[in-house]
Amino acid sequence: MTRPIEEAVTPPGAVDFDAFAARVSAPLRQALVASFGIDRGAEAHALAMAYGFEHRERIAALDSPVAYLFSVGRSQTRVRRKPLPVLYAEPAGDPPEFEPALAGAVARLPEKQRLAVFLVVGCGWSNAEVGRLAGKSESTVRALVQRALTRLRRELHVEESSS
């Protein structure tokens, strides 16, 4: 009797990379795009996932494989000394309250603030999740998000709503 193809490819006891990738790929891509913009973030994601495939046994055993692969993606794309501009695609369609200047304002934030506000406000991550990814405490992430939001409001001339 022959085994199904999946069993033949993945030896018994080995890490199933498809399941591993399904768990880490989306949050890793969000974090890298938050830090580097769409083009460089997508490149960093691809490089990090390739590294993750090569070292899947060791990385799957880590407490925070997303944070580790985030560092890998960041270091794999550090080939230029001059920072590239961070570019974000404008949303498709007509979002209900899209401020056209928001993408540029977010791109001008310092990387730590951009990462924190993008993941917490834009992607719904918790402060703890971002803290684990960035190697920061929850209170530091909370402060980064508040500073970023204050800076964005000031730059976009938006007053904070009192809800």
Give the tens place of pLDDT for each residue, 100-150.
Answer: 788 889 989 999 999 999 999 988 999 999 999 999 999 999 999 999 999
Report how far residue 49's alpha carbon sits from residue 55's, in angstroms, rounded to the nearest whole number: 10
Contacts of residue 144, Cβ cutoff 8 Å, sequence gap at least 6: 112, 113, 115, 116, 117, 136
The CATH code for residues 99-158 is 1.10.10.10
In the chain, ranges of CATH 1.10.10.10 domains = 99-158
- Give the pTM: 0.68
Closest CA to 66 of 122, 22, 107: 22
Tens of pLDDT, residue by residue over 44-81, are 999 999 999 999 889 988 999 999 999 999 888 876 55
pLDDT of 93 reads 64
Tally helices (H) and strands (E) across the chain: 8, 0
Token pair in block for residue 139: 């209170």
